[in-house]
Amino acid sequence: MALKIVLVRHGEAKSKKSGQTDHERELTKRGAEALRDAYPKTFSLVEPTLASELWVSTATRARQTADIANETLGIETVHLRDSLYEQDHQAFLDDVSQTNADLVVVVGHIPFMEDACYHLTGTSLGFSAGAAAAIEQPEHGRGRLLWFVQGPEC
């Protein structure tokens, strides 16, 4: 059976403040509200199972985006992944090849989400803030893009 992967770019983030790290940046209020409005429809395209997992970058804005997505998805198994913040493609691909999940929703950043989509499917997409792409990934070979939803207007 093929693994389904949903790549999600975090929502609209605040600019970095003086003394703040990039890792600490949060979603804007407008960005969080836009995700809450859009994600029930976007994630109605996803059918989580007991074997579903949510992989999330350790950055605050990604964790906030994942929390909003999970209000609709209700995935119980959540893993924070440094590799997503660090944009470590090899670690991500290793994790994909080793997972026992049948669905993995991955919340991270660009250019990583765009690069991962291209690497897995050969399809080049521009992910706006909050965008999501679903991929059917066979055990071997190139994946197939199932759907793509641009992020909400903020």
Mean per-residue pLDDT pooled into runs of 10, the chain (154 residues):
90 92 96 98 92 97 98 96 95 92 97 96 97 93 95 88
Full set of structural domains in the chain with CATH? 6-13+22-149 (3.40.50.1240)
Q: Return the exposure string of 10-46: e unless at least 16 CB atoms fall within 10 Å of the residue's CB, then b.
A: bbbbeeeeeeeeeeebbbbeebbbbbeebbeebbeeb
What's residue 14's pLDDT?
Answer: 96
What's residue 1's pLDDT?
Answer: 53
**Structure token pair of residue 147:** 């759907």
